[in-house]
């Protein structure tokens, strides 16, 4: 899909710059026309000679070419590009991009780029975790840039954690998939619920659960990349949506999630109910913090929360598709089938909870069970690939 595409590969000064050579090779092999723009410190890590030999174009680093005095136009470059990929993006480059500090050719080109921009951060784990880096990455995301998140692993410093640059093969895959995605959900509104709900006990305490929201967020990003108009109703999570095309509605309790879901479902073509909604909430929320000294062990009386999926199932029209999730520890298939009927679902995604699959972790092993009882089993995969399987199944249903 990258054949003939114009790609600007931005390289900043980090040890991961050596991996940019492999990334450049992958782009060139795929038939892309690649222009490398490197920061002055990037050249300390990798030579322009290697990069220009592989790209077949002189590497740009300075505002002016020294011997001729000719100006390198960042404006023309920004218009030329079909995509800009900044890998590695160091803490400093990310900070400059976030704040418009246009003191080198890479940043001026970034500020002029009209194309989608992909950013692969690379730095040491403490720099990556620093609040200023977190804030700058959030800012880039809010501008609509695609952040290719850093995986955890061993860093050049031998410390282990998040901060290393994603592998070139994966960065290539993300960029390739961006252009390759069939827009099979174009013009369709998809509503997704994700994450846990928090049910207030008093102003400082709640009943919650361990749901990370990762599965729902991955589904939302997959739907957006396939052209859907996505609304993601999310309980409190620590992750961020990596696709600025997704409209995120943040909620806290099941009641709030229910209100948003009922409102958004009305004109949705599909709803995917991924959230781990609390079944019960405290019947009374204490107005002030419950104090230990004042009383014996308190009793918290619970009331039933609305079943959001069942509520939507009850009002669903023939043209709407409703998808549920089930997390079962025993009689999994029988319970899932019972849920399809009770909630009037079109299909249900059955989750397996093991050490490597389910809550909090990055992988999931699922089965999809249709309303007619047909079951498809899938292997253990990263959640973004599981999201693709689920959305493929959804698209099949829409086509029918
Ligand atoms: O009944 P159970 O909680 O096992 O059903 C799981 C499915 O129903 C999930 O799709 C979940 O998002 C949805 N659900 C809901 N509202 C609830 C409970 C579950 O939408 N109160």
C-alpha of residue 258 to centroid of ligand 1, in Å: 11
Asked if residue 324 has its Cβ within 6 Å of ligand 1, the reply is yes
- The rounded distance, in Å, linking the Cα atoms of 67 and 80 is 24
The pLDDT value recorded for residue 340 is 96
Asked if residue 351 has its Cβ within 6 Å of ligand 1, the reply is no
C-alpha of residue 324 to centroid of ligand 1, in Å: 7
Task: Using the atom order of ligand 1, give the atom closest to the CA of residue 274.
Answer: 12
Task: Using the atom order of ligand 1, give the atom closest to the CA of residue 348.
Answer: 10
Atom 1, ligand 1: which residue's CA is nearest? 339
| Burial classification of residue 294, based on how many CB atoms lie within 10 Å of its CB (0-12 exposed, 13-18 middle, 19 or more buried) | exposed
Atom 5, ligand 1: which residue's CA is nearest? 326
- pTM of the prediction? 0.77
Query: Tens of pLDDT along 32-57?
Result: 999 999 999 999 999 999 999 999 99
Task: Using the atom order of ligand 1, give the atom closest to the CA of residue 325.
Answer: 10
376 is catalytic: no
The pLDDT value recorded for residue 356 is 64
Q: Which residues of the chain have pLDDT under 50?
A: none
C-alpha of residue 195 to centroid of ligand 1, in Å: 12
Instruction: Please provide the distance, in angstroms rounded to a whole number, between the alpha carbons at the two ends of the chain.
Output: 28
The pLDDT value recorded for residue 318 is 94
Asked if residue 340 has its Cβ within 6 Å of ligand 1, the reply is no
Catalytic residue among 209, 335, 344, 363: 209
Task: Using the atom order of ligand 1, give the atom closest to the CA of residue 326.
Answer: 6
Asked if residue 11 has its Cβ within 6 Å of ligand 1, the reply is no
The pLDDT value recorded for residue 276 is 96
Task: Using the atom order of ligand 1, give the atom closest to the CA of residue 327.
Answer: 4
Atom 9, ligand 1: which residue's CA is nearest? 325
C-alpha of residue 68 to centroid of ligand 1, in Å: 67
C-alpha of residue 347 to centroid of ligand 1, in Å: 13
The pLDDT value recorded for residue 245 is 87
Asked if residue 349 has its Cβ within 6 Å of ligand 1, the reply is no
Query: Tens of pLDDT along 325-353?
Result: 998 778 888 888 999 999 999 999 998 77
Asked if residue 9 has its Cβ within 6 Å of ligand 1, the reply is no
The pLDDT value recorded for residue 296 is 82
Asked if residue 257 has its Cβ within 6 Å of ligand 1, the reply is no
Asked if residue 273 has its Cβ within 6 Å of ligand 1, the reply is yes
Name the residue of 199, 257, 258, 277 whose CB sits within 8 Å of the most ligand 1 atoms, as the mutation to test its pocket: 277
Nearest to 199 by CA among 342, 78, 345, 305: 305
């Amino acid at each position: 899909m990258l054949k003939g595409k114009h790609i600007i590969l931005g390289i900043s000064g980090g040890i991961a710059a050596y991996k940019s050579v492999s990334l450049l090779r992958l782009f060139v092999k795929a038939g892309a026309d690649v222009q490398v723009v490197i920061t002055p410190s990037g050249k300390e890590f990798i030579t322009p000679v290697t990069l220009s030999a592989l790209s077949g174009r002189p590497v740009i680093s300075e505002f002016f070419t020294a011997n001729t005095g000719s100006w390198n136009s960042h404006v023309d470059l920004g218009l030329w590009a079909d995509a800009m990929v900044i890998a590695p993006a160091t803490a400093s480059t990310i900070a400059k991009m976030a704040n418009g500090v246009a003191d080198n050719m890479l940043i001026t080109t970034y500020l002029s780029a009209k194309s989608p921009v992909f950013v692969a951060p690379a730095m040491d784990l403490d720099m990556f975790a620093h609040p200023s880096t977190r804030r700058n990455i959030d800012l880039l995301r809010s501008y609509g840039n695609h952040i290719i998140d850093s995986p955890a692993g061993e860093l050049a410093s031998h410390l282990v954690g998040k901060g290393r640059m994603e592998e070139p093969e994966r960065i290539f895959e993300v960029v390739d998939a961006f252009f390759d995605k069939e827009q099979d959900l174009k013009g369709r509104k998809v509503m997704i619920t994700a994450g846990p709900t928090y049910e207030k006990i008093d102003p400082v305490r709640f009943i919650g659960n361990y749901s990370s929201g990762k599965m729902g967020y991955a589904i939302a990003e997959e739907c957006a990349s396939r052209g859907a108009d996505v609304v993601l109703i999310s309980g409190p999570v620590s992750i961020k949506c990596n696709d600025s095309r997704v409209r995120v509605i943040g909620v806290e309790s099941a009641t709030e999630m229910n209100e948003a879901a009922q409102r958004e479902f009305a004109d949705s073509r599909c709803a995917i109910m991924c959230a781990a909604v609390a079944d019960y909430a405290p019947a009374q929320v204490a107005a002030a913090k419950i104090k230990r000294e004042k009383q014996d062990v308190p009793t918290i009386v619970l009331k039933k929360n609305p079943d959001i999926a069942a509520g939507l199932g009850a009002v669903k029209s023939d043209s709407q598709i409703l998808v549920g999730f089930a997390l079962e520890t025993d009689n999994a298939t029988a319970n899932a089938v019972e849920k399809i009927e009770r909630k009037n679902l079109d299909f249900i995604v059955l989750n397996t909870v093991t050490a490597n699959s389910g809550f909090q972790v990055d992988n999931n092993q699922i089965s999809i069970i249709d309303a007619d009882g047909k079951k498809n089993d899938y292997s253990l995969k990263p959640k973004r690939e599981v999201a693709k399987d689920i959305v493929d199944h959804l698209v099949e249903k829409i086509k029918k």
